[in-house]
Amino acid sequence: MSSSTIQVKASTSPVGQVSTSGLVWQMARRDILTLFRTPWIIISRSMAFIIQLFVFAYFISGLVNYPGFFEYYAVGSVVAMVASISFIIGYDIFEEAEEGLLDYLLTLPVSRRQFIIGRALGGAVRSMIYIIPMFIIVALLEKFVNPVSIIAAVLDLFLLAFGVTGLSITMAVTVRSANRFDVTLALLDLAVTRVSTALYPLTKLPLYVRPIAPYSPVTFASTTVYDALVLTSLNAADLAGLIAFVAVFIVLGATIYFRRLEGGVYA
């Protein structure tokens, strides 16, 4: 998954350098292209989503006494899937360090900051590419046609993907044992996606989960997306919480990653 390389194209500027935004985009483009080299991931996750939506959600909606539960679950499934897929970038970064590919990437004429921002952006965009077909299915199924609401929902999903990407990068550069990293990221993925109100309303969650679920970034995202698509309204409080989550973990992940690179941990 992480074995692709990146080419830095020559610029037409007088100094013969690629612009900062161009270098960031090329780093992001490398991560995006790995998506198309592993189509089985898209197929397997798409099939899992379809089964979850049209089989599991259909049967469980008859058991949960909650008006409009299928619609609620459909929107929440997309949000939960975005969060889960966004964790993949952490595995890529960890594999690159173990395989020595990171040493090659660091020799490219790209600054550390451009490298880090590009990786975070690439991971977020890749997650959105994964999820767009699933989002379209839900939008058609539930007849979401308001363009402003759809744009707002997509932006909320991108914010979640960007924030979870930062969280995943933070874990990838903090945990150095391969076995411990796999367990940590799997548990973190489970906690972030399941300990939330994305799939079930707060009143239907277990009692020991209810005090924590409202503060999950997936809860922030699912609430803002649901309000945008179904209620065609803006939930400012949860949007602020989502933005705060993104800011914290993008900055934290970039800072730790930068210090690790400069400290020669991956050498």
Is 12 among the domain residues?
Answer: no
pTM for this prediction: 0.82
List, as one string, the DSSP characters of 28-56. Answer: HHHHHHHHHH-HHHHHHHHHHHHHIIIII
Question: Please, are residues 81 and 46 in contact by the beta-carbon 8 Å criterion?
Answer: no
- pLDDT 10s digits, 236-260: 999 999 999 988 888 887 777 777 6
- pLDDT 10s digits, 126-147: 888 888 888 999 999 999 999 9
Is 15 among the domain residues?
Answer: no
Number of domains in the chain: 1
**Smallest Cα–Cα separation from 246: which of 158, 149, 131, 186?**
158
pLDDT of residue 262: 65
Is 83 among the domain residues?
Answer: yes
CA separation for the pair 60, 73 (Å, rounded): 10
Is 153 among the domain residues?
Answer: yes
The pLDDT confidence band at residue 223, using thresholds 50, 70 and 90, is: very high
Containing structural domain, residue 113: 20-263
- pLDDT 10s digits, 78-104: 999 999 888 888 888 888 777 777 777
Is 87 among the domain residues?
Answer: yes
Burial of 91 (0-12, 13-18, 19+ CB in 10 A): middle
Is 191 among the domain residues?
Answer: yes
Is 243 among the domain residues?
Answer: yes
CA separation for the pair 129, 240 (Å, rounded): 25
Is 128 among the domain residues?
Answer: yes
List, as one string, the DSSP characters of 74-135. Answer: HHHHHHHHHHHHHTHHHHHHHHHHHHTHHHHHTTSS--HHHHHHHHHHHHHHHHHHHHHHHH
